[in-house]
Amino acid sequence: MRKQLVLGNWKMNGALAFNARLIEDLMQGIADGDSGCEVGVCVPFIYVAQVGEALGGSTVRLGVQDISAHTEGAYTGEISAKMASEFGVSFALVGHSERRIYHHESAEIVGVKALRCLEAGITPVVCVGETLDEREMNETNHVVERQLTAVLDCLGVEDATRIVIAYEPVWAIGTGRSASAGQAQETHAFLRQVLDTRSSSLSDVPVLYGGSVKSSSAADLLRQSDVDGGLVGGASLHAGELAAIVAAMPRRTSQAR
Ligand code: 13P
């Protein structure tokens, strides 16, 4: 059965006092409204130690938003997967569209980053998604297939069983304009096909949806059969919103899959 997962991506937001409050409220909110899915927060590197300590023995997992493609050495400003794993990091986003666009990360670099994560015992959350122009030119499937294939090509099948995918249409990120549940389901089903074509052992790789997910839109999106959870940006900075999104996650039974 595919894992269900809701991850917050704080992006470049936070402050010591704000984080402490947010994590406390989130742990409270999740404890009250647990829906059986895994929950995590991807924080700026500088807050990893603080948030890790604040989470303590909580079930909320710690994540980061990027990882170096290198293992160690003269790469000023970079942070390796091994360093992150020493701080209890469980997840790392790789290939977020903001990294691809503002930092010119290629699909191949994203594949190497995913590999580095797996070597260090961190789950890479491989982000894929098309721009508005690409969608309007009917290129969505082609774009996400190319982005995912580059990562799968970097990993053996065994390694690829341990990744998570996040479909994040670029036009839906931070715009307040989420993909419709139907649009999300259609692309998720296509990504499942790409995985199945690669190997039947990839049938349990979860595919999350990201892009303007809010508590008001979550139920519709998360009930789609190929949507295994959410990657939540802006709304994850409000503990109540993230907890409500987690609570909207429908419970799956093993018979339902
Ligand atoms: P928003 O939820 O703010 O649209 O951000 C989505 C995202 O980029 C998560 O990684």
Query: What's the rounded Cα separation, in Å, for the pair 128 and 40?
Result: 19
pTM of the prediction?
0.96
- What integer pLDDT is reported at residue 32 of this predicted model? 58
- What integer pLDDT is reported at residue 251 of this predicted model? 82
Q: Which of 251, 247, 249, 156 is nearest to 209 (CA)?
A: 249
Å from CA of 173 to ligand 1 middle: 5
Contact call for residues 173 and 234 (beta carbons, < 8 A)? no
Between 3.20.20.10, 2.60.40.10, 3.40.1440.60, 3.20.20.70, what CATH number should domain 5-247 receive? 3.20.20.70
- What integer pLDDT is reported at residue 254 of this predicted model? 58
Residue 233 CB–ligand 1 contact under 6 Å: yes
Which of 152-160's residues contact partners 24+ apart within 8 Å by CB, and which partners? 152/111, 152/198, 153/111, 154/108, 154/111, 154/112, 154/114, 154/115, 155/111, 155/114, 155/115, 155/118, 157/198, 157/199, 157/201, 157/202, 158/201, 159/115, 159/118, 160/198, 160/199, 160/202, 160/205
39: which strand partners? 6
- What integer pLDDT is reported at residue 256 of this predicted model? 47
Q: pLDDT tens per residue, the chain (257 residues)?
A: 899 999 999 999 999 999 999 999 999 998 755 567 999 999 999 999 999 999 998 999 999 999 999 999 999 999 999 999 999 999 999 999 999 999 999 999 999 999 999 999 999 999 999 999 999 999 999 999 999 999 999 999 999 999 999 999 999 999 988 899 999 999 999 999 999 999 999 999 999 999 999 999 999 999 999 999 999 999 999 999 999 999 999 988 654 44
Express as a percent the part of the chain with pLDDT over 70. Answer: 96
- What integer pLDDT is reported at residue 1 of this predicted model? 86
Query: What's the rounded Cα separation, in Å, for the pair 8 and 253?
Result: 25
Residue 210 CB–ligand 1 contact under 6 Å: yes
Phi first, then psi: give them for residue 126, nearest 5 degrees: -85, 115
DSSP 104-149: ---HHHHHHHHHHHHHTT-EEEEEE---HHHHHTT-HHHHHHHHHH
Å from CA of 10 to ligand 1 middle: 9
- Closest residue to atom 5 of ligand 1, CA basis: 233
Give catalytic residue positions: 96, 168
Residue from 6, 7, 9, 126 whose mutation best tests the ligand 1 pocket (most atoms within 8 A of CB): 9
- What integer pLDDT is reported at residue 34 of this predicted model? 56
Å from CA of 136 to ligand 1 middle: 21
- What integer pLDDT is reported at residue 252 of this predicted model? 80
Question: Alpha-carbon Rg of the chain, whole angstroms?
Answer: 17
Residue 63 CB–ligand 1 contact under 6 Å: no
**Which of left, alpha, beta for 63 (phi over 0: left; psi -120 to 50: alpha)?**
beta
Domain spans in the chain, listed from the N-terminal domain onward = 5-247
Residue 212 CB–ligand 1 contact under 6 Å: yes
